[in-house]
Each structure stands twice: as C-alpha cells, then as structure tokens.
Amino acid sequence: MDKKEKKLFLLWTPSYYPRFGGLESATREYASFLKERGWKVKIISNKYPVSLPKSEQIDNINIKRYLFLSRPIHYLKNKRLDLFFAYIVFKPITLFRLIFYFKKNKPSIVNVHFPDNQLIELVILSLFFKFNLIVSMHGDEVERLSEIKKDSFRYMLYLKIFDQSKYISFCSNYLLKKFKEIFNNTNEDKLMVVNNGVNKNFITSKITIKKKNYFFSASRFTPKKGLSIVFKIFEDLNMKELQIAGGSRKDGESFSSNITQNIKFLGVLSRNQIINRLKSSALTIIPTKNEPYGIIVAEALCLGSPIVTTKVGGIPELVNSVRNKLNIQQKNIFDQWVKVVEPNEISIKNGIKSIISNKNSIKEYISLVESFRHEFLWENKLKILINRIENFD
C-alpha cells in the first residue's frame, strides 16, 4: 500500500498514556511508529479513571475516550449495583457514539488490544462497517480466557471476533502457545508473534559504566509482580537502597507488611526518569511471578543494567533472543550480569548475591549490550505487522 493510499489506522485499547503500564507504553509506541510510517492514526480508549478528558491529543494523535463496561452479572455477584445500572444506561449510549464515530471516520484497519471489555461493540460494529480487524493479545486476557465456559455468551463473542479478524497477534511465543491451548481450532495462518520493543530513547541513551549505590525495580503494584518477595529479602538482609517506581508506600503496604526504611517508593515516573534510574542502578530486580513478555527486562538490558529476573512466561524467551546469538565467551560475560532464576525468595536472593559479589569489570557486559540493544527497537519488532497490513486490500 503506497503512502498516499494509506487510510485510517484505528488503535482501540482499554488503557492508554498517560496511565502507567506495559500496555500503555506498547500501544503508544504502536501509534507513534505507524504515524511515522505515514498512516493516519487515531486512538479509542476507556475513560478510566473518569477524571481523564473525553478527548485530547497526545503526540499529535487524536484520542477519544468512551465508558466501556462489561459483564453485568459479575457486577451483581459482587454487589456493585452502581456499576450494574451504569452498564444498563451507558452501554447503548457508548454503542451509539461508536457507530457515529465509525460512520464519520471510516477506519480501514481496527487494531484492538485487550478486547475483553468491548466484545459486543466490536461484533455490532462489524455488522455495519467494513474494516480489517487485528486483535492484539498481551497477557492477562489470555489467562482470563482459560476460565471462560465454552457454552457461555462471552465465549461465543470471542469466537466471532477471532473468526472476523485478519490477524491475531501475541507479544510472545509463550502467549501464543497459551492461546492455542484454549482456542485450538483457530486458523493458524491468522496467528503471529509481534514482540514488544523499547522506545528509541532507551537505545540512544549513553550507558553509564559507573553505577550508583542503589537497586531499582518498576512495576504495577499487584501481588503477581512479586514485589513482596523483594520486600522480604530486604528485610532479612542489610542491603543497599531499593528504589521502586510505579506506586507509593501505601500501595506496597496493601499487599505486604515487610517494608523496611531502605525501600524508597518513587511513584509513577516519566520515561526519561526511568531511563536515568535504570542506567545508573547497581542492579535491576524484576521478581514477577507471571509475565507474558517483560518489557522492563528489555529496557534494563538496553541500558546496561545488571539484572535479576524470574524464569516465568515470556521472560526466558526475551533474554534468549539475544543470548542465543552470543558466542561461548560472550555468554559467560552475559551470564555474570543477567540472572534468570526461579520465582521464589531463595533463588532471587542468590541471584542478587551472585551479582553484587561479582568482582569482574562491567565494561565487557556493557560492550555486549551496545552490540545488540538496537534489536529491541520498535521498528525492528513491528516489521512483521507492517508487512501484513501494507498488503491489505
């Protein structure tokens, strides 16, 4: 498809920047990259939190937010009558507004990320409008799919969406495999892996050889991210300061009581602030118990930070995507500074001890990083997607 012929690429996501998280980061990069490639790009997202504006422009891309509510029975079971009645009132209003939006904008491609909350809207819109549908899966929604009863209305909606889609993309082979276990009759020609990349600022930023006297971590503050394990380790050992981005001390205390004074909570950081923390940290710890890809691992790698992370989900796949291309000597250097361990306290603690007791120079590791970090650029990761959509009619 020639640049002059490119039409509207509508990216539909349940959450978008300025909210913090892997999905928000990934969808923002998708949108910016496609815009740079000459596509007309617009965003539809959920108006959550409700304080977010109905419409705004970020990175010169128009964003429209609607209230997406789903699963009314779930609201009733949890005695959320406010959400149940909000669903009854706002579901048809949102649908009407979406029909008007589609009629006005006529998107050529609709790329839906985390389709869980907008299944009905998607099915109905596909009846009225012709567009090429790409469904992008990132992790949590695939896990939820395994819990859906195959005779449920929701399962039927998913089958309809997958049948209508041109492609279904996954951020890792691990996630694609999980999906195939649930929907084993899906046409395999539709399935593709589109790994997440990192923002170019993580690639172009100068790597710091002299590290500062703190450890770093960044994640959403949920139990599955494993922060409670690190809190316990820091309670038991007299260790350096741990700086954590993504939440407050109060957020941490909501799922752990093992929070010592040498743990500093940074809240939500900007991209440049995260870059500065990662490239200067003596060690980055990613203790997650469940991770479909692990973008923070890729970002830490690209900035030459020593890393302790866990052998879960797509993380081994991510690490091996660069490690497997190294020779024996290079692998030995890499393994001194990057530890992929089991997601438990003893293994993570041993990984930390191994790195902080390493007396070898970090210069060789940083030289390695500088040789492969360009591979994580979004433009390299999104090539497969671009090749597919530019061949659409």
Say what the pLDDT of residue 104 is.
Answer: 96
Cα–Cα distance, 375 to 213 (Å, whole number): 29
Q: What average pLDDT does this structure show over 330-354? A: 96
pLDDT range class, residue 151, cuts 50, 70, 90: confident
**pLDDT band for position 237 (50/70/90)?**
low
Average pLDDT over residues 365-372: 96
- CA–CA dist 251, 247 (Å, integer): 6
The confidence score (pLDDT) of residue 4 equals: 42
CA 130 to centroid of chain Cα atoms: 29
For residue 218, what pLDDT band results from cuts at 50, 70 and 90?
A: very high
Which pLDDT belongs to residue 5?
A: 55
**pLDDT (average), residues 252-268:** 86
pLDDT, position 6: 65
Paired sense of beta strands 263-267 and 283-286, if any: unpaired
Distance CA 373, CA 119 (A): 37
Question: CB-based burial of residue 188 (10 Å sphere; 0-12 exposed, 13-18 middle, 19+ buried)?
Answer: exposed
- Mean pLDDT for the stretch of residues 270-291: 94
Q: What is the mean pLDDT of the chain?
A: 91
200-376: CATH topology = Rossmann fold (3.40.50)
65 band by pLDDT with thresholds 50, 70 and 90 = very high
CA distance 164 to 130: 11
Alpha carbons 338 and 332: distance in angstroms, whole number: 10
Average pLDDT estimate for 5-32: 87
CATH architecture, domain defined by 3-197+378-389 = 3-Layer(aba) Sandwich (3.40)
Q: Please, where in the chain does CATH 3.40.50.2000 lie?
A: 3-197+378-389, 200-376
**Cβ-proximal residues to 47 (8 Å cutoff; 6+ apart), any chain:** 54, 65, 66, 67
Residue 162 has pLDDT above 80, yes or no: yes
Residue-by-residue DSSP string for 237-302: S---EEEEESS-HHHHHTT-S---TTEEEEES--HHHHHHHHHH-SEEEE--S--SS-HHHHHHHH
- What average pLDDT does range 170-185 have in this prediction? 92
The average pLDDT across 276-295 equals 94
The mean per-residue pLDDT over the stretch 92-96 comes to 93
The pTM of the full predicted model, rounded to 2 decimals, is: 0.88
Query: So what's the pLDDT on residue 58?
Result: 95
Mean pLDDT of the region 318-322: 96
The residue-averaged pLDDT of 297-317 equals 96
Q: Which of 79-88, 167-176, 358-367 shows the lowest mean pLDDT across its residues?
A: 79-88
Give, in order, the Cα–Cα distances in Å from 386 to each of 36, 44, 105, 242: 12, 20, 21, 40
pLDDT tops 90 at residue 23: no
Please report which confidence band the pLDDT of residue 3 belongs to, taking 50, 70 and 90 as the band edges: very low
Residue 255's pLDDT is 82
The pLDDT value given to residue 129: 96
pLDDT of 283 higher than 50: yes
Does residue 20 register a pLDDT over 90? no
- Alpha carbon distance 51, 231 (integer Å): 32
Q: Is the pLDDT of residue 260 over 90?
A: no
